[in-house]
Amino acid sequence: MNTRDEIIYIVDDEAGMQKALTRLFRAEGFEVRAFSSAQEFIDAHRAGEIACLILDVAMPGLDGIALQHFLLASGVHVPIVFLTGRGDIPMSVRAIKAGAVDFLTKPVNDTELLRAVHTALALAKSHQAEHAELSALAKRYATLTPREREVMTHVVSGQLNKQIAADLGTGEQNIKIHRGHVMSKMGVVSIADLVRAAGRLTIVKIA
């Protein structure tokens, strides 16, 4: 079933709705945290969690769409599933464009809601994994010497050792040594892997 480290946040001003949704998700084994206003959610949320947000649109104070924008601007990556009593198409389009996972209207069917929640959590998970991989790569890249970084840049742009040696004004043998260090320090076994790592680190020079 679901693991305890996946959290479902609910923000809805209607107490009855909070209660019903909480019951539904708990029955599915999720950890649920329900709030009646956007502000309460902002205060309670912690970064690094695998979580999704079930968000009501029409609320007193900060409404759902405003909260979505606030989170984007703050760099908080929480997949959002909107749930609204009165939704219109322009509003749903805007919400989806801004990265919402889904835009559902009340009353909502449980399977539909749970599917959206799973999608959202998967997204959150992949976000988290990607984040972890990227930070590992960055750590490796930080161990390279400046010369090794230069060599790596030339390698991933597809140059032969001879060409690199000519460009950097050194011997081909030296380049081979540097290249070996780069491969081992970046933890890759093939040039293709090195290119992929460089792409994720956005250091690929587009020829």
Partner 1 sequence: MNWVTVIWSMSVAMSLTLGAIHFVGWCQDRKAWANLLFAIMAVSVAAFAGFEIALLQAQTAAQYAILHQWGHVPLFFTFVSLIGFILCYFRSGRAGLAWTVIGLRVVVLVINFTFGPTFNFRAITGIRPFQFLGGTVSVPVAVPSPWAPLGAGSGLLLLVFVVDASIHLWRRGRANERRRAVVVGGGVALFISASVVNGVLIHTGVLHAPHFISLYFVLIVVGMGYELSRDMIHAGKMAEELRENAEGMSLAAGAAQLALWRWDIAPDVLWVSPNGRQLYGIPPGEVISLQRFLDTLHPDDREGTRKAVMGSLEGEGAFLSEYRAVLPDGAVRWIGAQGKVEFDGQRQPLRMRGVSADITDRKRIENEVAEQLRFEILLADLSARFVNVPAEELDDQIEEAQRQVCECLQVDLASLFQWSAEDPSFTRTHFFRLSEGPPLPMKIDAGEHLPWARQQLQAGQTVVFSSLDELPPEAARDKEHFRFLGIKSGVGIPLSAGGEPLVGGLTFNAIREDRVWPEEIVKRLHLVAQVFANALARKRSEQALQESQERLSLATDAAGVGLWIMTLSTGQLWVTRNIRELFQFSPEEALTYERFFDAIYPEDRETVRHGVAASIDSGMPLNLEYRLALPDGSARWVNSQGRPHRNGSGEADRLMGVTVDVSARKFAEMEAAQHRTELAHLTRVTTLSELSGSLAHELNQPLAIILSNAQAAQRLLVQSPPDVAEVRDILTDIVSEDRRAGEVITRLRALLKRGETTLVPMKLNEVIAEALHLTTPDLIGRGITVARELAGGLPQVSGDSVQLQQVLLNLILNAADAMAANAPGTRRLHISTARENDVLRVSVRDVGGGLPANSEKLFEPFFTTKSHGLGMGLAICRSIIQAHHGRLWAEPDPERGAVFHFEIPVLEPTST
Q: Is 24 a residue that touches partner 1 (CB under 8 A)? A: yes
Torsion sign across C-alpha atoms 194, 200, 202, 205: positive
Torsion sign across C-alpha atoms 56, 62, 67, 71: negative
Task: Closer to partner 1 by CB, 18 or 161: give it.
Answer: 18
Q: Is 23 a residue that touches partner 1 (CB under 8 A)? A: yes
Q: Is 16 a residue that touches partner 1 (CB under 8 A)? A: yes
Torsion sign across C-alpha atoms 68, 46, 6, 131: positive
User: Cα(first)–Cα(last) distance of the chain, in Å?
Assistant: 48
Q: Is 17 a residue that touches partner 1 (CB under 8 A)? A: yes
Contact region for partner 1 (CB under 8 A) — 14-22, 132-140, 144-152, 155-163?
14-22
Encoded one letter per residue, x for contact with partner 1 by CB under 8 A and - for no contact, window 94-133 reads ------------xxxxx-----------------------
Q: Which residues contact 123 (CB under 8 A, 6 or more apart)?
A: 52, 79, 101
Q: Which residue in 3, 5, 20, 180 binds partner 1 (CB under 8 A)? A: 20
| Nearest approach, Cβ of residue 110 and partner 1 (Å) | 4
Q: Which residues contact 105 (CB under 8 A, 6 or more apart)?
A: 83, 84, 85, 87
Phi-psi region of 200 (alpha: psi -120 to 50; beta: other; left: phi over 0): alpha
Binders of partner 1 in range 56-85 (CB under 8 A): 85
Q: Is 172 a residue that touches partner 1 (CB under 8 A)? A: no
Residues 86 and 67: their CA atoms lie apart, in Å, by 17
| Nearest approach, Cβ of residue 105 and partner 1 (Å) | 8
| Binding-site ranges for partner 1 (CB under 8 A) | 14, 16-17, 19-21, 23-24, 26-28, 85-86, 106-110
